[in-house]
Structure 1
Amino acid sequence: MTFKDKDVWGEIKMTKTKILCVADGGITRDLMQQMHELEQYNADVTIIEDKEMYAMGPITDRMLLIEHNGVDAAPTCRELLENCADKDILVVHVASINKEIINACKNLKVAAVLRGGYENADVAALTEKNIKLINAPWRSANAVADFTVGMMIAENKNIARSHKLIFEGKWCKKYVNQEYIHDMRAMTAGIIGFGYIGQRVAERLKGFGTKVVVYDPYIDKSKFANSGVEFMELDQLLETADFVSVHLRLSEKTHHFIGAEELQKMKKTAYLINTARSGLVDTAALVTSLRNKDIGGAAIDVYDEEPLPKNHPYLQLNNITLTSHLAGTSCDTMKNSVEIGVEDLKRYLTGKSMLNVRN
């Protein structure tokens, strides 16, 4: 999107669209360099760094803080605040686009958050000022889908448990789920939430011959008529599936979407898989269900508190596989983020509708 102005001679000239990009330890300055491609569309791209978010450790902590307490819980990136006043477009990874930033911007038209979520942007404040918000919704979809299927297999086949026991000098051939270890082709996977990740999980499971059933009341089911999946109501899915895998966005409506009532409806031999958000599952209810063997097991990558405390009840169970919030980890995720952002901003600069608008 370009804007016409007149110079001192009265001639029409094109004013460049000013874009400010905030690199960090995840999306580095080198990766953010791809944003300079936008300069061929009469844009002026500036890249700064959020020095507090220098590595994935602080970034993960910041994401978790915002997820649990909202965008205002995180401090404002000073570099962003000091450089944003005259910019038309802001591009961030985990730096917050909060009210302080929004109010400091005099010309802002687009805010781009290069993440699958956009919790670090104040959506209401952006919407109030008619500033478009875009994100990179499928940046880690392939990584998470791969990981989710891996967690299913690891829990069903006791891969992680066997690994741990061998390091402890134990050669175990019989596990708590011995009576219901099945081939993937003999199992049914229930996917709750059929967005970018859920769809990719289904694609991967087809290669194993696994039957896939889906619950998602918000999608147009007609678009998936030939996808090979079967849509069900939630209760039916819970009663049918050998794996119940949650792929919803966390919100007030989906908080503790899987609780005691839902766990009671699952098969006693079924596994719960959560590689999405910890808040989607009632942790206390899951612990009780696993301890009482009301379900077969679980595989969990996300937690209400991270790192997982040493006294956490999960660590007392023998029917759970735990990983340290790794599902989205891939050398390709950050690169994908920038590519998705660049393509949508190209559309904006050439007068086309952006694909990933969230408000």
Structure 2
Amino acid sequence: MEKVKILLVSDGGITNELMEQFYELEEYGAEITLVEDKEMYAMGPITDRMLQIELNGIDAAPTCQPLLEACADKHIIVVHVASINKEVIHAAKKLKVVAVLRGGIENADLTALTEKGITLINAPWRSAHAVADFSVGMMIAENKNIARSHKMIFDGQWCKNYINQEYIHDMRTRTVGLVGFGHIGQRVNERLVGFGSRVIVYDPYIDPKIIEEAGCISVTFEELLKQSDFVSVHLRLSEKTKHFFSEKEFSKMKKTAYFINTARSGLVDTNALVNALQNKDIGGAAIDVYDIEPLPNDHPFLKLNNVTLTSHIAGTSADTMRNSVEIGLEDLKNYLQGLPMKNIVNPKINN
């Protein structure tokens, strides 16, 4: 019987050292090959590549040549940010499973994989803890003016009176609206429990019983916008969710509400958000993701006094990459033993 051949593609995020944990799969009869995507040598280029793909599609990124040259006889390919595009799929004649060790799957051509009957798995909760921590931190930073005060002190100013002075509140008295209740949204809720916040949720794809069992209240999107003191976004970016927040949505929020986006920039019409902040239609915002990164020096966000900005770092944690490997390794161990995998993106495929 032919051995299952696995190709690992490391980069500056999931390094050779981390990828080598997949050599445990040799105990299950697998044959492992490891190559390196040297163009993705650090987190800066990796973040730029992912934004490029998110904005312009998978074909906007070049094919990883070491991957292409080594994939012909492989049954499983494991990548971090290297693209599994049509060129790779056509070359990998024996391919059965692709593992993308990210929460998103933008660097894999899901349609082409599904058409070929190739299973795609990912690491959906790899950065969930990191992003959940960060999301709550952004709520507090914008409400309590933490980042704003820090900058002003460095600028030689000692400010005690901020633009939101009349609506700085304790988290225990606030209603937080979570748009999306997947891996990240659920963990944000877990953290808010300790603050005593009232948490409401809009997620049409989650059984309301799951939301209620977590101690939250399931509401309509319109109810969430009207009731929330913080609106925190935890959706995947797709054609259905592009510009999920636009002028209409911001107009329904409280004048004192804060908008938090640590998810994807494409979920928000940036011009509409800028206008809402400029006109004080909402109380403020805390943003970690942008249509253009790095943020241009002339971006209107930089002229506002009611926004907290960070440089796309919500998922940054030494634990995120280790989590990715842990999740992918567990699923592939199951696959090699004939057991179900937990993180299949296209579940109708049977291998």
- TM-score grouping bracket, smaller chain normalisation: over 0.9
Return structure 1 stretches of 4+ with deviation > 3 angstroms.
none
In structure 2, stretches of 5+ residues that fail to align are 347-351
**Mapped partners of 1:225, 1:234: distance in 2:** 16
Give the Å deviation of 1:224.
3.5
Q: For 1:1-359, what aligned pairs fall within 5 Å after superposition?
A: 4=1, 15-359=2-346
TM-score with structure 1 length normalisation?
0.96
One-letter identity of the residue aligned with 1:117: G
SS at match of 2:120: strand
Larger Rg: 1
TM-score with structure 2 length normalisation?
0.98
One-letter identity of the residue aligned with 2:177: G
SS at match of 2:104: coil
One-letter identity of the residue aligned with 2:42: A
Counterpart for residue 8 of structure 1: none
- Residues 184-207 of structure 1 deviation map (CA, whole Å, 9 limit, x = unaligned): 000010000000000000000010
- Residues 68-101 of structure 1 deviation map (CA, whole Å, 9 limit, x = unaligned): 1111110000000000000000000000000000
**Mapped partners of 1:24, 1:313: distance in 2:** 34
**Mapped partners of 1:259, 1:84: distance in 2:** 43
**Mapped partners of 2:227, 2:275: distance in 1:** 21
Identity over the aligned pairs, expressed in percent?
71
Give the Å deviation of 1:353.
1.2
SS at match of 2:213: coil
SS at match of 1:68: helix
**Mapped partners of 2:211, 2:147: distance in 1:** 34
Give the Å deviation of 1:301.
0.2
**Mapped partners of 1:189, 1:223: distance in 2:** 17
**Mapped partners of 1:88, 1:215: distance in 2:** 40
**Mapped partners of 1:76, 1:86: distance in 2:** 18
- Residues 169-196 of structure 1 deviation map (CA, whole Å, 9 limit, x = unaligned): 0000000000000000000100000000
Instruction: Determine if contact 2:63/2:83 at 8 Å carries over to the other structure.
Output: yes
SS at match of 2:138: helix
Counterpart for residue 10 of structure 1: none
Aligned length: 346
Counterpart for residue 349 of structure 2: none
**Mapped partners of 2:203, 2:41: distance in 1:** 37
One-letter identity of the residue aligned with 1:39: E
**Mapped partners of 1:214, 1:221: distance in 2:** 9
In structure 1, stretches of 5+ residues that fail to align are 5-14
